[in-house]
Structure 1
Amino acid sequence: NFEKEFQEHVVNYFVREYDSGRTPHPCLACNDKIKFDFLLRRAMFLEADYIATGHYARLDRSSSGVKLLRGVDSGKDQSYVLFTLNQPELQKLLFPVGEYTKKEIRSLALEGSLPVADKPDSQEICFIPSGNYREFLQERIKARPGSFVDTSGKVLGDHPGIQFFTIGQRRRLGLKNNGLEPKFVLKIDNQTNEITLGEESELYRKRFSFKNLSLTHESYRSEVIDIFARIRYKAEESQATAFFNEDSGIVEFKDPQRAITPGQPVVFYKGEELLGGGIIENVLDDGPSLKQSKMLTTV
Structure 2
Amino acid sequence: MTGARTIIGMSGGVDSSVAALRLRDAGEPVAGLFMSNWADDGSGDCRAEDDRRDAVAVCGRLGLPIHFRDFSREYWAGVFEHFIAEYAAGRTPNPDVLCNREVKFKHFLDAARELGAERIATGHYARVDRLDGRWRLLRALDRSKDQTYFLHQLGQLQLAATVFPLGDLPKTEVRRMAADAGLPTAAKKDSTGICFIGERDFREFLGRYLPAREGEIRTPDGLSLGRHQGVFFYTLGQREGLAIGGVRGRDAAPWYVVGKDVARNVLYVEQGIDNPWLMSTRLRSEAAHWIAGAPPAAAFGCTAQTRYRQNDEACTVRVGGDGRLDVVFQRPQRAVTPGQSLVLYAGDECLGGAVIESTDAPLETARMDAA
SS at match of 2:237: coil
Would you say 1:270 and 2:270 are equivalent positions? no
CA–CA separation in structure 2 for the residues paired with 1:147 and 1:282:
23
Matched residue, 2:267: 195
CA–CA separation in structure 2 for the residues paired with 1:132 and 1:185:
19
Q: What whole-Å deviation, never above 9, does each CA across 1:74-122 have from its counterpart, x for those lacking one? A: 1111011000011111111111111111122222222322211121222
SS at match of 2:243: coil
Would you say 1:228 and 2:297 are equivalent positions? no
- Contact kept in structure 2, 1:228 and 1:240, CA below 8 Å: yes
The Cα of 1:209 is off from its aligned counterpart by 1.1
Return closer, same or farther for 1:120/1:224 CA change in 2, 3 Å cut-off. Answer: same
Q: 1:53 aligns with which of 119, 122, 125?
A: 122
Q: 1:69 aligns with which of 128, 131, 138?
A: 138
CA–CA separation in structure 2 for the residues paired with 1:61 and 1:170:
43
Q: 2:241 aligns with which of 156, 161, 172?
A: 172
Would you say 1:101 and 2:170 are equivalent positions? yes
The Cα of 1:167 is off from its aligned counterpart by 0.2
Q: 1:218 aligns with which of 274, 293, 296?
A: 293
Matched residue, 1:293: none
How many equivalent pairs are there? 286
Matched residue, 1:83: 152
SS at match of 1:281: strand
- Select between 212-221 and 134-143 the one with higher mean Cα deviation: 212-221
1:268 maps to a residue whose letter is L
Q: TM-score, normalised by structure 2?
A: 0.72
The Cα of 1:155 is off from its aligned counterpart by 4.3
1:38 maps to a residue whose letter is H
SS at match of 1:99: coil
- Contact kept in structure 2, 1:125 and 1:131, CA below 8 Å: no
Structure 1: gaps spanning 5 or more residues: 287-299
Q: TM-score, normalised by structure 1?
A: 0.88
1:137 maps to a residue whose letter is L
Would you say 1:186 and 2:263 are equivalent positions? no
- Contact kept in structure 1, 2:304 and 2:345, CA below 8 Å: yes
Q: 1:161 aligns with which of 230, 233, 236?
A: 230
Matched residue, 1:279: 355
RMSD: 2.0
- Contact kept in structure 2, 1:209 and 1:249, CA below 8 Å: yes
Matched residue, 1:22: 91
Structure 2: gaps spanning 5 or more residues: 1-69, 363-371
CA–CA separation in structure 2 for the residues paired with 1:270 and 1:191:
39
Return closer, same or farther for 1:80/1:173 CA change in 2, 3 Å cut-off. Answer: same
Return closer, same or farther for 1:206/1:107 CA change in 2, 3 Å cut-off. Answer: same
Q: What whole-Å deviation, never above 9, does each CA across 1:184-238 have from its counterpart, x for those lacking one? A: 2111122222222234312121111111411111343422110111111121111
SS at match of 2:167: helix
CA–CA separation in structure 2 for the residues paired with 1:14 and 1:105:
32
Q: 2:190 aligns with which of 121, 146, 169?
A: 121
CA–CA separation in structure 2 for the residues paired with 1:269 and 1:224:
14
CA–CA separation in structure 2 for the residues paired with 1:140 and 1:110:
41
CA–CA separation in structure 2 for the residues paired with 1:120 and 1:172:
26
Q: What whole-Å deviation, never above 9, does each CA across 1:260-280 have from its counterpart, x for those lacking one? A: 111111110111111111111
CA–CA separation in structure 1 for the residues paired with 2:351 and 2:131:
16
- Select between 98-107 and 172-181 the one with higher mean Cα deviation: 172-181
The Cα of 1:29 is off from its aligned counterpart by 1.6
Return closer, same or farther for 1:153/1:240 CA change in 2, 3 Å cut-off. Answer: same
Matched residue, 1:289: none
Q: What whole-Å deviation, never above 9, does each CA across 1:16-62 have from its counterpart, x for those lacking one? A: 32222111222112111111122223333444211111110001123
Return closer, same or farther for 1:121/1:140 CA change in 2, 3 Å cut-off. Answer: same
Would you say 1:8 and 2:80 are equivalent positions? no
The Cα of 1:138 is off from its aligned counterpart by 1.7
Matched residue, 1:294: none
